Amino acid sequence: MSETLTTGKVGTFEYTLEDDTGKVIDSSSGKSPMVYLHGAQNIVPGLEKALEGQAVGGVLDVVVPPEEGYGESSGREPQVVPRREFPKDVNLFVGMGLRAQDSEGKPFVIYISDICGSRVLVTTDHPLAGKNLNFHVEVVGVRDATSDEIAHGHAHGLDGHAHHH
């Protein structure tokens, strides 16, 4: 019996992600396939749900709505932050996510939505917030997670022993 993706398994898949106009946003083509720990929220909830029970060779076309993807757009205007408030040695780019802390020290992520000279526009909306995610996925690997991977809550590469930060 072939292994299927359930909590505690590490899945590997090739993927193409398109927006609703058919524009390719991201793809594993020419890169490494995605390796993830199932049930650990390593990937968006809608895709994890669709992969549940799949085995090697499984091919899926999944439309993930924003509430199961990167969330709804907040509708709030981006905030302007002067470039000098970011670390000098960090190469900022549009779409980049940065860790920040609120006044109580609670971590959250901000995304750069635009850079105009010394003014950087940031938003708490993920660049794909409010968008349907159209995934085409092919499962190419399913294996048991190592105890380290389960303890860490993420996959350690194809064989489970990849170095990571």
- Region 129-158 residues binding Zn ion, contact defined as CB under 5 A: 152
CB 128 within 8 A of CB 93: no
Q: Tokens 């549009």 sit at which residue?
A: 94
Q: If binding means CB under 5 A, how many residues of this protein chain bind Zn ion?
A: 1
100 or 162: whose CB is closer to Zn ion?
Answer: 162
Residues 6+ positions from 79 with CB-CB distance below 8 Å: 121, 122, 123
The site map against Zn ion for 97-136 (x = CB under 5 A) is ----------------------------------------
136 or 152: whose CB is closer to Zn ion?
Answer: 152
Least distance (Å) from Zn ion to the CB of residue 9? 16
Binding site for Zn ion (CB under 5 A): 152
